[in-house]
Amino acid sequence: MTVLCRRIESPLGRLVLVGDGECLTEILFSTGRHARDPDPAWREARDAFVEAAEQLSAYFAGDLHRFDLTLTPKGTPFRQRAWAALREIPFGRVMTYAQLAAAIDKPRAVRAVGAANGANPIPIVIPCHRLLGSNRDLTDFGGGLAAKAALLRLEGHNVEERKGRFRWVDPALP
């Protein structure tokens, strides 16, 4: 199978959509801890991933709250289960790693949920940015913590930055 990719611009910088042209297998960041360039073996196709590009544009404009795309992330059954649970976190909501572990009936697997979250190959669409540490700190994100903060702000959250650390703030909670 030929792997196609398409570069798109976003408020987070350049993103690379990867897959067969319709079905996404990855979204790559051009900046951040997991920044990656497209594999030289992939074929760049500007006409690929039209629906994904349109939905991402609508999301970044604040007009789309739930993606409706065909995804084929590659991962273990546990990771697939964690990613499916991530997709159930609604726009504008957050959850801790412990809450997600409990949601998939694995309350003691908090670290494994963290590893699955960190290995999420389709960030933004599979909204790993909606997970927080138990102390409300923003934790690792492939595009960088500033990008995670920007996504949470886009979804209506208050995020503070102090000394390079980001923290989710909800005045309604103690």
Structural tokens at position 145: 């913590």
Catalytic residue among 128, 138, 145, 151: 128
Spatial CA neighbour of 20 closest among 68, 60, 74: 74
Each as own residue / partner, the long-range contacts of residues 159-165 (CB below 8 Å, 24 or more positions apart, any chain) are: 165/137, 165/138
- List, in sequence order, every residue forming a beta bridge with 71; answer none if it has no partner: 24
User: Is 128 tagged catalytic?
Assistant: yes
Report the alpha-carbon distance of residue 147 to residue 11 in Å, rounded: 9
DSSP state of 83: H
Residues annotated as catalytic (active site), given as ranges: 128
